[in-house]
Each structure stands twice: as C-alpha cells, then as structure tokens.
Structure 1
Amino acid sequence: MAGKDDPEYDEFCDPDNPRKVKYEDILAASKRILGQIVRTPCPRCHMSSRLGMDLYMKQEFLQHTGCFKERGVRNTLLLLSEEQRKNGVIAASTGNHAIALSYHAAQMGIPSVVVMPVHAPITKMTKAEKTGGKVILQGNSMAESKLFAMSMAKEKKMVYVNGYDHPNVIEGQGTIGIEIVEQVPAVDAVLVPCGGGSLLAGVAIAVKHLKPDAEVYGIVTDRTCSMVEALKKNERIFLPLDTTIADGLAVNKVGVNTFYNLKSGILDKMVVVREDWVARALMHITDEERCVIEGAAATTVASIMAGLFPNLKGKKVVCVFSGGNIDTTTLTRALERGLVAEGRMVKFKVTVSDRPGGMSDLCTLMANVGVTMRDCVPERAWIRGDVFSCQLKVIVETKGWDHTKTLVEQIKKHYKDYFFQDINEHVDSNSGAKRGPCLAPNPVCMQK
C-alpha cells in the first residue's frame, strides 16, 4: 500500500478508496466546459454501406489540440483552487494529454509541466512545447515517466493531473457520451478506444444512463491489452508494452477509478483487434472519409473491418475517433502497410533478359495489365545461370487482389523465373482477432 509519503501516492487515484463517477458529475462537467471546448460533429460515414451498418464517427480529432483529452483537462483545471492554480499542474503523458494540459493551462494562466517518455512521438512533443507547457523527456515507459512526474509534483507542491484516472478527467471525457446520444438518438452501439480507461469509463457511464439498451464496447489492440488483462484477472496488473501504432493506448497499468467503474457492469465487452487491421483502417478512413486520425482512434473501425461485430450488422453504430495527432512518418508507414494488406501494393522478383528491350518488355506487360510501378532495382551479380539475364526486384500498385492475380497470371505466362512476396500467404480472414471478457450480466450481443 502506498502511503501519503510515497511518491506514487495520489489521493484522487487511491486503490484503497476508488471513486465512483456518477452521471450527474458528467452532466455538471458538460455545463462547466460549455463553450470552452469544441462540440464535435458526429456525421454518418461513407463506409456505412460497405461495412453493412449505419456507421457514425464522433470527430474528437477536431478539438483545438486534436484530441478528446481537452474535455477532462479543462474540467479538472476549472475545479482547482486559487492556491493550486498558482503552484501549477504537472502530468505524465505519451502525448495527447500533455498537449491538452499545456494548451488549457496556458489559456488559464496556470504554470504547467509535462513529462513524456523519451520515445514519445516527435509530433506530440513539439505540439506540447508550442502550446505553452514545459516538456521534460524522462523514462523509457509511461510508468517511469509517471514516477518522475509524481515525485516532482510532491517536491514542487504542484497538482498531478492523471490523464486517464483523475475523477474530474473521467467526468470531462464522459461529456462525449452525452453528445453522442443527443446527436444520434437511436444509437444501438458505441465503440470506444481504451488505454488507461478514462474515455471508455466516462462514455459508458453517460450512454448507459441516457440509453440503457445501447451497447458500449471498449477496443484495444493486441499490443495494448492492459485493460483486457486487468478485467480478466479482476485486478490492475502491470503489463510490459512493445511499440504500437496505437501509441495513445500504450498504458502499462490501467487507472484505479477507471477499472473500478468499468467492472461495475456498465461495459458490454472488451474487444482486441490486431494491429495490421488498424493500419488497414487508417488507410480506408483517409481514403474514404478524408480524415487524418491516429492509430488509437482507428481501432474502432479496425475492429468492425476485422469482422468482430457481426451482431451490429444493420444497426446504428458510433465510433469515437479519439484523436488525430499522428506523425507523418507513422502515417506513411501505416498507409503503405494498409495497401500491402489489401493487395494494392505488391512486391515481386522476376528474371528478364539483360539485352536491349528486356526491361522494356516487362514495363509494357505491366502497362497493359494496368499496374503502376513504384520501384524497380536490377540485380546482376548475385544471380546464377545465364550472364545475359537480370533479376528485377519490383514494387507495383494495383487495384486490389483481383487485379494482382491478373498480374501474377501474366508474369507466369511470359517468364520462367519469378517470385511474388506473400501472395501465397494472403488470407483475408480474422485469424488472430479476438474478443475480451464479456462484462454484461445479460449480453445483448449474445441474444438470438
């Protein structure tokens, strides 16, 4: 047990005294922050018909700092005493909470410090600095950054604002749930990304109060399963996390208050989606919805694309697009991974004649098939056999798997030596996708 002298002790997030968040608290928060954050739109998605449901996107990436975190931060700062405002606030964050805290603290004239892991995304580090906060890079994980921040808070008499567990933060995030029910009154299900749990807990409390028959699902990736594991074992456990495309969900140990509220029966199910589906979802959202969002936000659509919600076919479903702060390099990688997974970018090797016209013939063949060459590297020294042959390593863009199969057939018809990367391994299925523990006493999704 952490005593008050322990640097990790937080009176607002005390395992011996978890706080129950009520709908009335969320409603009060919505009135408190009115006009100080963006009431984000919730339009119908263009992907609805293809995915077989009435799909809506709650566009939290349109907040000033590009993330839902502003709601909880603003609510918490408004409730500080004059002395607390004077001493300032501090937090540990992988990025989004840091940006939101820096921005709103600066707006209210409150000194702020944010501690970020050394490997935090560059875009988020830069954004936090530009919005007015003092950024300290410390620790190789959120756990190490948090310990440093909480030690500093006690030393400097600052208020530590836990971005995923402070009760006032949970109340602020829950205002999204109120808006969803107002914007899509007939909503059947809400899909929410889950890291530390403040967004999921807040939205679940609000939605279940206003529309008890609506289902609420928490979405994590196979690399950010801390909430799933905690609910399975019925205790908050420390889970080592690897690098992830959904860095906003990379929390080693879920919150005291979020865990306490989520295990009380307000959540229908936790669902785990593979990270390659997240890359595909990012590509489709950018392509079809013309929205740039981060990996954590794309997990909701990814879980639908992966076939994890057959029970929601034909229903009204809201996906919370939690944020849009993604590095351009990460976005580029994700888009390319998505293209590969969908068969729209293909790599292959083929041996052609190294005499005049050999490469030209291949280019003509591909032009006739209608594929676009992205890259081509000739290899002469490391191939066996005819010295008048050349192996080409080629990357092309196609329209999809059917178009790729046409290309494969033509290459097989005209060349003897070839190899297509991953074509034989292509399986457009849900293998590896899984659901987390069901938490509903009488799950709607399991009723016939």
Structure 2
Amino acid sequence: MVTLEDIQAARERLRSAIRPTPCPQSDYYTERTECAAVFFKLENLQRTGAFKERGALNKLLTLTEDERRRGVIAASAGNHAQGVAYHARRLGVSATIVMPERTPLIKVSRTRDDYGARVVLKGTNYDEAYAEALRIQKAEDRVFIHPFNDAHVIAGQGTIGLELLEQCPDLEVVLVPIGGGGLISGIACALKETRPDIRVVGVQAETIASMKASVEAGERVLLAAAGTTIADGIAVKRVGDLTFPMVQKYVDEVVAVDEEEIAAAILTLLEQEKSVVEGAGAVGLAALLSGDVPAARGRRTAIILSGGNIDMNVISRIIERGLVKAGRLVQLEVRLPDRPGMLAKLTTQVADLRANVVEIHHERAFSKAGLGEAMVEVTLETTGPAQIEELERALHRLGWQVARK
C-alpha cells in the first residue's frame, strides 16, 4: 500500500517539472451553497489539461535505464495518455498509447500530434483498449504504465493532497472524482495520514459507478456493462486491486451523480467560474450542487477539478441543453390560420416581446393542423421562463394554439 512517505518522495521528484495548481475560493459557490467556503483545486490548468501527468511523470522518473530504452506503453481514454506522452517525449522515452475508438478527437490529436506518441485506436471502451495494450507490451517488450493501479502513479497523484494541506490549512471536506481510484487513493492517503479529521468523499458517474458498487459489496466488483457517460475519463468497469483497499481505509464516502447533474456542473463552471472542465472533472461540483454530500454543509470544502480536455462538440451540446433547461432557449409549436401575413404577425409579436428567433419552420402538408391552418415551429432565445410564459399568453390572446416541444 502506498504511504505518505511515498507521496512526499514523489513530490520531490516532480518539484522541478510540475507546478502546484491554484486553489482559489469561489465567491459564487460559497454564497450559493450551504458550505462555509468552497475552493476549487484547478488541475484542469496542468500543461496537459489534467492531473494525470503527476502520476505518469513519477512513474517515468523511477524507470531504470534499460526500461527507458525499451520504451513505455499505456492504455487511456485520454488524460493519462497525454500525461505519459508529454513527459516521455521530454525525457526521450518512446511512448505508445492505446485509446478507445470513441475517445474525443481533441485527446487523440494532442497525444499523437502535440506530444509525439504513437497512438493505436482499439475497442469501444477502456477495458478493450487495455487488453490491446497488454498484447502490444508483450510483443514489443515495453514497460506498461497503468493509469491508476500502480504505486508510483498513485503516489504522484497524491501530491495534490499535500498541496491542498498547504493552500487550505483549515480544510474540512474534499470531493474527488473516482474512476479506477488512483487519484482519490493518493489524495486521501496524503490528507488522512496528516489530518485524519478531513472528510474525503469520492464521486462517480451513476452509469458506471464501479467503486461505489465495490465499497458497498466489500470487494472489487466487475460491472457487467459500461454505461455511456459524458464523464468518459472515469468510465472504468473494475477498480484496481491496489486502489480499492486504500479507498476502504481512507475514503469516508462514495456517491454517484447522473448525466444531467454532470452537464449542469460543466455549464455552470463555464459560465460562473470561467473554467473549462470535462465531465470527469466536474463530478465533484455536481455532487455538491445535487445535495448528495450533506457532510459539506457548514464546512470548508475543496473540489478537485481534475481535467479540462473536453470535446468542443460536447461543450456545444451541453450549452444548448443547459439553455433549454434554464428556459433561455425554447421551441414553440404554434397553430395559426393559413392566411397571408400570419407568419409576419407571429414574428412581430415575438419581436415586440423582445425574444429572438433562432430558427423557424412553416409546415402545411405534413403537420397535424387542419385545412386552412398551418403549423409553425419556432426556436427562440429568451431571458427565461417568465418571458416564455408571457409569449405563450400573448399568442393565446390571438386565438392561436401554442405548445412547447
């Protein structure tokens, strides 16, 4: 089992290459939650966009000269891949990374094009990519760098815990994302061995909560199927045999959040904190906002924002869904008389009420409207639910049928 001394030694190794990330207090969330204070540990600001390079570099720095000559290989959904690739290039070590075929393009291109690793795309999930990596490792005699189930990797991630203790000396609760358990194992060890009173809470995506299921069962559980999640960086069907006992020893609680809660956390971080955070990195805030961590009430709470490598297409979809949920984007279906000037009357009414038309579709032949009527689908930007209701009342007063889609 990894010790506090291992983590302290890792910090000394990493000191010249890994800069401590900021941990500012968030005025917005401190004011809008029941916490005494909310702090964000901004691991999304690392050179490769995630905490993973801490563990990857610590492992690389412990390799023998013979192991460096043979080169390394890793399997990763993206962030571990970039951490290994970037620091392997810095150290002159050949790196091969096996990634699932559906890995976001931004992670693939950065690993291959920006950081110089050979990338192999194989399988639909991490487990299939992992199996291919083991095959290549055996065929090419490379050194395997596991993303979470490795003592040096765990110790490297644990350096975050040491930084937290210095940056927030009065810390009481820490929320940490969990995939395979490497991050939370290292952080929890550093915190609990120094300040046992700090409560450590792990957070997983509900669709693939392998650590939560394992903790509840008292043994490692292999999930039958990996559900799809926007938190792809923590989509692991079975946690590590090194990380699981550390979670059992040091972690107080493991909770799970759903996809809507994760998406809402990504959006609010973008809007309120001006921070780009991927799904896996935002689950801690999602848990706090959903009320799943009552232990944080009235306490000084830190949240690990563990990565910022999110696909731009995913951000676009999340923003749109968030706007719909907030009532700032709405689609109305309006049934009106099929006479000249009616469409102009509709758009004039919308303009008079200060809404903005994003898209409009006018249908006769294929709609449910009767003869002499037309169905218009109009997508509008609004200021919120109150303005939508005002629009609906105005259109009803004209005698038109209105329904939200």
Tell me, yes or no, if the aligned pair for 2:369 and 2:375 is still in contact at 8 Å: no
2:241 maps to 256
Q: Report the Cα distance in structure 1 between the residues aligned to 2:20 and 2:168, rounded to whole angstroms.
A: 14
Structure 1, unaligned runs of 5 or more: 1-19, 422-448
Q: Report the Cα distance in structure 2 between the residues aligned to 1:160 and 1:27, rounded to whole angstroms.
A: 24
Equivalenced residue count is 401
Matches within 5 A, 1:141-180: 141-180=125-164
Tell me, yes or no, if the aligned pair for 1:38 and 1:62 is still in contact at 8 Å: no
2:86 maps to 103
2:363 maps to 379
1:51 aligns with 2:36: no
SS at 2:21's partner residue? coil
Q: Report the Cα distance in structure 2 between the residues aligned to 1:212 and 1:132, rounded to whole angstroms.
A: 42
After superposing on structure 2, the runs of 4+ consecutive aligned residues of structure 1 that deviate more than 4 Å are none
SS at 1:223's partner residue? helix
TM-superposed deviation, 1:172: 0.4
Question: Which structure carries more helix by proportion?
Answer: 2
1:118 aligns with 2:86: no
Q: 1:229 aligns with which of 198, 213, 220?
A: 213
1:31 aligns with 2:29: no
TM-superposed deviation, 1:206: 1.0
SS at 2:374's partner residue? strand
TM-superposed deviation, 1:72: 0.1
TM-score (norm 2): 0.95
TM-superposed deviation, 1:235: 2.1
1:307 maps to 291
SS at 1:236's partner residue? coil
TM-superposed deviation, 1:398: 2.5
Cα deviation digits, residues 28-60 of structure 1 (max 9, x gap):
111110020121101122332122332111111
Q: Report the Cα distance in structure 1 between the residues aligned to 2:294 and 2:386, rounded to whole angstroms.
A: 25
Q: Report the Cα distance in structure 2 between the residues aligned to 1:384 and 1:69, rounded to whole angstroms.
A: 54
Cα deviation digits, residues 315-371 of structure 1 (max 9, x gap):
221111101101100111111122222222222211123333312222232233332
Matches within 5 A, 1:354-433: 354-384=338-368, 386-421=370-405
Tell me, yes or no, if the aligned pair for 2:392 and 2:402 is still in contact at 8 Å: no
Q: Report the Cα distance in structure 2 between the residues aligned to 1:416 and 1:369, rounded to whole angstroms.
A: 16
Q: Report the Cα distance in structure 2 between the residues aligned to 1:369 and 1:304, rounded to whole angstroms.
A: 37
Amino acid at match of 1:360: A
TM-superposed deviation, 1:284: 0.8
Q: Report the Cα distance in structure 1 between the residues aligned to 2:369 and 2:122, rounded to whole angstroms.
A: 56
Distance verdict in 2 for CA 1:386–1:261, change over 3 Å:
closer
SS at 2:308's partner residue? coil
Distance verdict in 2 for CA 1:384–1:99, change over 3 Å:
closer
RMSD (CA atoms)? 1.6
Cα deviation digits, residues 115-146 of structure 1 (max 9, x gap):
01111111111110020111011122211111
Amino acid at match of 1:122: L
Of the structure 1 ranges 375-384 and 397-406, higher mean CA displacement relative to structure 2 is found in 397-406
Tell me, yes or no, if the aligned pair for 2:185 and 2:243 is still in contact at 8 Å: yes
SS at 2:229's partner residue? coil
Q: 1:81 aligns with which of 51, 60, 64?
A: 64
Identity value in percent: 37
